[in-house]
Structure 1
Amino acid sequence: MQYPLYVHRNGSTGFRASFPDFPTADASGDSFDELTRNARATVEAMYDRSEQLIAAPTCSTSELQALQMDDGNGIWVFVDIDLTRVTSKSVAIQFNLLESLLLQVDAWAKKRGMTRSAFLTRALVDELKKLEG
């Protein structure tokens, strides 16, 4: 699956990057190829044989550009992440929300440097844990 990655220059010789759909996955590299390999490896290692719910990739350019991580000094690229070893699978869904609720979701997600999908996934997982516990 293709996930967005926000890439910055790291000094004059390297790169650093973050995934909005994987807030704890940061990567760096001396070359662009090394950066993307490291980013891919970081996410794949985080979720290897995992049953964690993984957010579907955010593909909306306007949603990505609205994130705080997009400071105008980097570029968005898409990195192919192999999630075949993950035992849970994400699926795209469509549902309706009040516009005011969606605006709140987007504001809270932005504060946390997350996409809408990642925020809603995290909120649902947390709520289900409360119900089970």
Structure 2
Amino acid sequence: MRYPIAIEPGDDIHAWGVVVPDLPGCFSAGDTLDEAIEQAREAIELHIDGLLDDGCDVPPPQPVSAHQARPEFVGWIWAVVAIDPAMLDDKVERVNVTLPRRVLSRLDRAAKAAGETRSGYIARLAIEAPHRRCVQ
């Protein structure tokens, strides 16, 4: 996937601001143009991850031309950030985790009390911390 980003030019005093028009609420900044683009990639990945955690749809990227004429972006620079589509993959993968026995015992007790499997309990904790909401 390739998301267009709008970059507000910076200078020696001001950061380069970045907005992702296709992902409302997704923005970032950087001290240089290159840093702003790299920070945008991270912001997009985190934003999409949060949408998925909340069960929200991920808006598809639109072409740059769909946004260029918008008045709020006059004078801004446009770039495109490639996002690995694998980050949208919810396919289950088996992993090996090493934990101290006392931690594993605590984890198993908590999972049992919650009526969940160990894996399900860990996954739910990871998704809920921090909890996000869908942006409409």
| Map 1:36-51 → 2, pairs under 5 A | 36-48=37-49, 50=52, 51=55
Query: Given the two structures, how large is their TM-score scaled by the length of structure 2?
Result: 0.55
Query: Given the two structures, how large is their TM-score scaled by the length of structure 1?
Result: 0.56
Alignment length (residue pairs) = 89
Offset at residue 56 of structure 1 (A)? 1.5
Offset at residue 8 of structure 1 (A)? 1.1
Q: Return the alpha-carbon distance in structure 1 between the equivalents of residues 6 and 68 of structure 2.
A: 10
For 1:87-106, what per-residue CA distance to the aligned partner results, in whole angstroms no more than 9, with x for missing partners?
48xxxxxxxxxxxxxxxxxx
Q: Unaligned regions of 5+ residues in structure 2, if any?
A: 91-133
Structure 1 residue ranges, 4+ long, deviating more than 4 angstroms after superposition: none
Larger radius of gyration, structure 1 or 2? 2
| 3-state secondary structure, aligned to 1:17 | strand
- Opposite residue 85 of structure 1, the aligned amino acid is M
- Opposite residue 71 of structure 2, the aligned amino acid is Q
Pair 1:32-2:36 in alignment: no
Equivalent in 72, 76, 79 of residue 77 of structure 1 = 79
Q: Return the alpha-carbon distance in structure 2 between the equivalents of residues 59 and 46 of structure 1.
A: 19
Q: In structure 2, do the counterparts of structure 1 residues 75 and 3 end up closer, same or farther at CA, with 3 Å as the change threshold? A: same
For 1:27-68, what per-residue CA distance to the aligned partner results, in whole angstroms no more than 9, with x for missing partners?
10011221111111111112227142112211151x212223
Pair 1:52-2:56 in alignment: yes
Q: Return the alpha-carbon distance in structure 1 between the equivalents of residues 46 and 64 of structure 2.
A: 26
Q: Return the alpha-carbon distance in structure 2 between the equivalents of residues 60 and 32 of structure 1.
A: 18
